[in-house]
Structure 1
Amino acid sequence: MSLQVSDLSFSYGTKTALDGVSFSVGHGQFAALLGPNGAGKSTLFSLLTRLFVTQPGAISIAGHDLKAAPLAAMADLGVVFQQTTLDLDLTVRQNLSYFAALHGLSGRAADTRIDAALARLDMAERAGEKARGLNGGHRRRTEIARALLHDPKVLLLDEPTVGLDAPTRAALTRHIHDLCSDTGVTVLWATHLTDEVLDSDQVVLLHRGQVLADGRCGALRGSASLPEYFAKMTGAPA
């Protein structure tokens, strides 16, 4: 498995945010971490990215235990956070070049990876534009291109379509699904929007800090629509 979470718990003081969360995602799989706001998705991502220190439980990324081998685990991880982290005064290429340098990439090797990442996300023609002038969808594509520069085995995206219009959300979701099938990268996509999930996707349904269901979307929802299934499991409006 490319990503394994085992019996993971986390509390903010007396408030339990995650309670014995366990799931795994296989190589090249698109997994939707689906849950309403406040389900614990952002807390889980903070633990996966070491913004928070893991408490009870274990995390393995591409076979590396996050506690025992954090550098190796993080080297195989790409992340796109909910809030944009681009330097808005730099161009698209400059943002990617800076990130490449942080991973020890420079010169021709960096340029080759940057060109490939931008082409994959249909951003090559915007390489010289400042990030400040990009719309929300193009900023997201730039962040995804940046996250892929070091060839991670696992890509985390935390509510990546927040604030985007419906056509842009659909295009971005399609790009990431294609990325899984084309490159074999494993994706964990956190969302509360059911229309971003395909029947072939793995769904990890998180609610009130616990995993309520884990399996292929089509099998989980059965004859119900995904919004209906989601509402039934979480009490959220259909």
Structure 2
Amino acid sequence: MSEIALKVSDLSFAYGAKKALDGVGLAVASGECTILLGPNGAGKSTLFSLITRLYDARQGRIELCGFDIKRQSLQALAKLGVVFQQTTLDPDLSVSQNLRYHAALHGIGRKAADARIREELERLQMYERRGEKVRQLNGGHKRRVEIARALLHKPKLLLLDEPTVGLDMPSRRAIVDHVHQLVKQQNLAVLWATHLIDEIADDDSLIVLHKGRVEAGGKLSDVLRDTACADAGQVFQKLTQDPPGVAT
């Protein structure tokens, strides 16, 4: 059986009186790309903020590779790589400088860091641009650098929070294909938050989140069968559309 890289149990969170997550439970296995699909405001970014400990949940449990994220934060977060929706690269540093800084934060020595930087940038066809300042890169190339950075410390789980928003179709396709290759080649676990149906592959797992609740979850083929839908677009429409007369 595949190792469970991420397990979320009975997770709830509220902003004051507004509940953002309500009893969320899910699991992501190694060697599996799980798509977290939901409309804007579904709770996807809140869930990611809790997994990364930007926020602290009072109700529920999050485990990364078996480590409780509250009681064993250092061990848990060491297993995690993240690409947030908003870029977090320093625009005035070069690609290599951004990556070396991240490697240093994880205690990776200079020689090992340079080897890993080369490996990840070559995989993304970005090594020749390592000396350029980040502000010189377009959106798609910045995303590639952020993915390389997230993988430098060899995480077991990669979180991607709407990483292709604002990118052109070729850039989006390149990132989607690259991540799916990583899943297969490195037995990586990926949780990919999106609202874009065309980023879902046939062998992905799918979690549909709507108004803070998980409406469906499992292999895409199982979700299609259980919801009597022909494709992920129909699943999304069926499970995130409010009944007539219900306010959103």
Q: What range is the shorter-chain TM-score in?
A: over 0.9
Aligned match of 2:233: 227
Q: Secondary structure at the match of 1:163?
A: coil
Q: Does 1:134 align with 2:137?
A: yes
Aligned match of 1:111: 114
CA distance in 2, matches of 1:221, 1:135: 37
Which range moved further: 223-232 or 201-210? 223-232
CA distance in 1, matches of 2:15, 2:235: 30
CA distance in 1, matches of 2:110, 2:159: 27
1:26, distance to aligned residue in structure 2 (A) = 0.7
CA distance in 1, matches of 2:140, 2:129: 12
Counterpart selection for 1:35 from 32, 35, 38? 38
1:1-238 alignment, distance < 5 Å: 1-222=4-225, 223-235=229-241
Aligned length: 236
Structure 2 residues without counterparts, runs of 5 or longer = 243-248
Structure 1 residues without counterparts, runs of 5 or longer = none
CA distances 1:132-163 after superposition (whole Å, capped 9, x unpaired)? 01111100000000010100011101000011
1:119, distance to aligned residue in structure 2 (A) = 1.4
Q: Normalising by structure 2, report the TM-score.
A: 0.93
CA distance in 1, matches of 2:44, 2:202: 21
Identity of aligned residues (%): 58
CA distance in 1, matches of 2:129, 2:221: 38
Q: Secondary structure at the match of 2:173?
A: helix
Aligned match of 2:245: none
- Structure 1 runs (4+) greater than 3 angstroms displaced: none
1:44, distance to aligned residue in structure 2 (A) = 0.2
CA RMSD of aligned residues (A): 1.1
1:218, distance to aligned residue in structure 2 (A) = 2.5
Which range moved further: 108-117 or 75-84? 108-117
CA distance in 1, matches of 2:186, 2:180: 10
Q: Secondary structure at the match of 2:25?
A: strand
* One-letter identity of the residue aligned with 2:92: D
1:179, distance to aligned residue in structure 2 (A) = 0.6
* One-letter identity of the residue aligned with 1:77: L
1:199, distance to aligned residue in structure 2 (A) = 1.7
* One-letter identity of the residue aligned with 2:91: L
* One-letter identity of the residue aligned with 2:167: L
Q: Normalising by structure 1, report the TM-score.
A: 0.97
CA distances 1:156-186 after superposition (whole Å, capped 9, x unpaired)? 0100001101221111111000011011111
Q: Secondary structure at the match of 1:71?
A: helix
CA distance in 2, matches of 1:89, 1:48: 29
Which range moved further: 218-227 or 15-24? 218-227
Q: Secondary structure at the match of 1:31?
A: strand
